Amino acid sequence: MSARNPGTELDLEWVSRVRVNTQAVLKRAQQVQGRKVVKKQWQAAWLLRAVTCIDLTTLAGDDTPSNVHRLCMKALQPVRHDLLKSMDMHEKGITTAAVCVYPSRVADAVKSMKVANSSLPVASVATGFPAGQTHLKTRLEEVRLAVADGATEIDIVINRTLALTGQWQALYDEIRQFREACGDAHMKTILAVGELASFTNVYKASLVSMMAGSDFIKTSTGKESVNATYPVAIVMVRAIRDYYLQTGHKVGFKPAGGIRTAQESLVWLALMKQELGDEWLRPQLFRLGASSLLADIERQIYHYVTGRYAAYHELPMA
């Protein structure tokens, strides 16, 4: 992770003058999607870059220590060794950026990483994920427990009720408290954009989250009916840029929810490069939150190396 964002005082005047031009955002998103993506070895290199930015996620009611262990092993060896060797990348220590699990599975993930002698970060969703509709005291305690179990990154969800009713001061105060409960753990703040009703609300919620000290802002939980979209990403990354220009603090971006294909991961990287520059193409400032994206990326890399698509049994860990 890069240097932490300490946050600022809540600047309500800035928040209140925010207006987002919807047509301009939609047009820009179309341009990003319409651009040709890189091919051949450049594409393979970009796909490996995408791998290193993935928060490899499992957030299911039937998660167990064994599937969490399997997730951790996959995060540590995300692409088959022989494929990496063919690309002369086998000694580069390629892993995903982190694994992401529910709070009650953090201890399992930490144990698996320890057994593998790895310090790969374990992230946990918290604060009543995904809806955030539990008492503040409960949400704060959940953060503390996940940190005590060894999570070094916490993905909090914002209180959408506060955002939708324009209670920005109350939202700021809650997020500040989450930041404090995180201690040294880095905090990613999930806006749940599919439930924020307008781009203007998304921009305002992004600003308030950053002012309250979020190290990353994240689009979605993956559980809303609309998750990571390119237009909403344009709004959020522009808020990141404006906040950086105003304060000098760099905040990361994490699109999450419904990102499944290698092709999409290339568009996300292109969007970051064009909107925020090369510095935001590293796991310190960019994450892709995804449960099934890695399988398609590995499949595309297999195709690049062998010239054919893998049968299911050839990429069993995917």
Ligand X SMILES: O=C[C@H](O)COP(=O)(O)O
Contact residues: ligand X, CB under 6 A:
57, 59, 100, 221-222, 256-259, 289-292
* Whole-number Å distance between alpha carbons of 141 and 268: 34
* Whole-number Å distance between alpha carbons of 214 and 229: 21
Query: For the chain, how big is the Rg over CA atoms in Å?
Result: 19
Find the shortest distance in angstroms from Cβ 268 to ligand X.
Answer: 13
> DSSP string spanning 37-73?
PP-HHHHHHHHHHHHHTEEEE---TT--HHHHHHHHH
C-beta of residue 235 within 8 angstroms of C-beta of residue 201: no
Instruction: Record the tokens describing residue 214, joined without a space.
Output: 């979020």
One of 74, 188, 218, 250 is an active-site residue; which one? 218
Nearer to ligand X, 239 or 288 (CB): 288
Find the shortest distance in angstroms from Cβ 318 to ligand X.
Answer: 14
Nearer to ligand X, 263 or 292 (CB): 292
Nearer to ligand X, 59 or 208 (CB): 59
Nearer to ligand X, 10 or 290 (CB): 290
Whether 74 is catalytic is: no
Find the shortest distance in angstroms from Cβ 14 to ligand X.
Answer: 28
* Whole-number Å distance between alpha carbons of 78 and 51: 7
Nearer to ligand X, 59 or 202 (CB): 59
Nearer to ligand X, 73 or 295 (CB): 295
In a 10 Å sphere around its CB, with 0-12 CB exposed, 13-18 middle and 19+ buried, how is residue 68 labelled?
Answer: buried
* Whole-number Å distance between alpha carbons of 210 and 238: 12
Find the shortest distance in angstroms from Cβ 314 to ligand X.
Answer: 23
C-beta of residue 36 within 8 angstroms of C-beta of residue 42: no
C-beta of residue 241 within 8 angstroms of C-beta of residue 277: no
Whether 85 is catalytic is: no
Find the shortest distance in angstroms from Cβ 23 to ligand X.
Answer: 28
Instruction: Record the tokens describing residue 68, joined without a space.
Output: 């969490």
Find the shortest distance in angstroms from Cβ 263 to ligand X.
Answer: 15
One of 74, 204, 250, 254 is an active-site residue; which one? 254
Strand spans (E) along 142-245: 153-157, 186-190, 216-218
Taking CB atoms, the residue at the shortest distance from ligand X is 222
Q: Which of the residues are catalytic?
A: 218, 254
